[in-house]
Amino acid sequence: MSDQRARAITHMNNKVMRQAGVEPLAYKIVQSQEQQPATDVILRKEQDSIVALVRTDCEWEYVFETRNKIAPYVFWFQQTSDDVRQITVNAADGNLASIADYRFSSMSDQHVLLPDAHFFAQRGYAETDIFAADNRLSWDDRSDDIVWRGAVNGTGHWSVDPETVILPGMMQRLHMAHMCKALDVDFRFVVMPEAHDYAVLKDAGFLGDFIPTHNWGVMKYAIDIDGFTNAWCNLMQRLKLGCCVLKVASPFGYKQWYYDRLIPWEHFVPISAELSDLRERIDWVKSHPAETRDIARQGQILAKNLTFESETVYAVRAIEERERHA
């Protein structure tokens, strides 16, 4: 690995640590001689520092994928007991080839899921907790509008033709956009710098203005729907803001580290992956104000308790437990 590239990766991960309020740790980026998948990183304790073995003998998009996602793994690994000497982590979204035991997202129970890079960099979304506390609204004062904004991404067929909605393999977010046109739901995409075909989306009426995250603090409802693996900060931030979240199931079963703590109808309103019950669920939340208020409150309590400090303890224990039984 060139010194320049190693310095660039180190700089980006140090920046993430500082953003999270963590002083950069003693670690170094080294070209891996192993043939691990491109987005897997081997972390190894050597003397007084941690070595991150990264592959760079591959297309830049894979190297770029790991550019700022090593930091949280290094932070937790550094706090594990001395007998934990090496782990392999996946520094991507979870949809690329990997043999890592530790991941941010997975569809398999064989992997140890750890808090993701967004949660880490934003220190457990502490600013959202503060905003929610300082701008608390009564349930009746919140808007009844059901709104979603996000990128047009995910796995599946790409089409805006209404006749393709019933076909198998449709990209879930596009399927959802088609379905919501017939409902009182403002489900639209926002322009992203790297995206394509936005003229087609605009003509189909699928483009909307960007809405800042904290705006959901004045809404009763929010939608969570996966991209390639999940929606990362979307779900937890909406929960922290006190929304009753309608969560669309992952078509592939992807989940994050805290999903096992979420209980349908207690912390969120479930919607099937194929969207067959979408209309029913929309009608239900609009006709059950007391129940949706309680679901929103329970979801917010759970999310508020997922702090940077508590989940750091969780991550360190999860690594030590896995290695103890390896």
Q: Looking at residue 61, what is its pLDDT?
A: 61
Question: Model-level pTM?
Answer: 0.94
Write the pLDDT tens digit of every residue in 277-290. Answer: 999 999 999 999 99
Q: Looking at residue 36, what is its pLDDT?
A: 86
Which residues lie below 8 Å from residue 24, measured CB to CB, with a gap of 6+? 13, 14, 17, 18
Q: Which of 48-57, 111-120, 205-214, 229-238 has the lowest mean pLDDT?
A: 48-57
**What class does CATH assign to 125-304?**
alpha beta
Neighbouring CB atoms inside 10 A of 51's CB total: 17
3-state secondary structure (DSSP) of residue 190: coil
Helices (H) and strands (E) in the chain, counts: 11, 11
Give which of 10, 37, 41, 42 is closest to 26, Cα–Cα: 10
Q: Looking at residue 7, what is its pLDDT?
A: 80
Write the pLDDT tens digit of every residue in 294-322. Answer: 999 999 999 999 999 999 999 999 999 99
Q: Is the pLDDT of residue 214 over 90?
A: yes
Which residues lie below 8 Å from residue 183, measured CB to CB, with a gap of 6+? 278, 279, 282
The C-alpha atoms of residue 299 and residue 236 are separated, in whole angstroms, by: 9
CB 54 within 8 A of CB 44: no
Q: Is the pLDDT of residue 167 over 60?
A: yes
Q: Encoding tokens for residue 218? A: 């004045």
The C-alpha atoms of residue 263 and residue 253 are separated, in whole angstroms, by: 16
More confident residue, 315 or 163: 315
Q: Where are the domains of the chain?
A: 3-103, 125-304
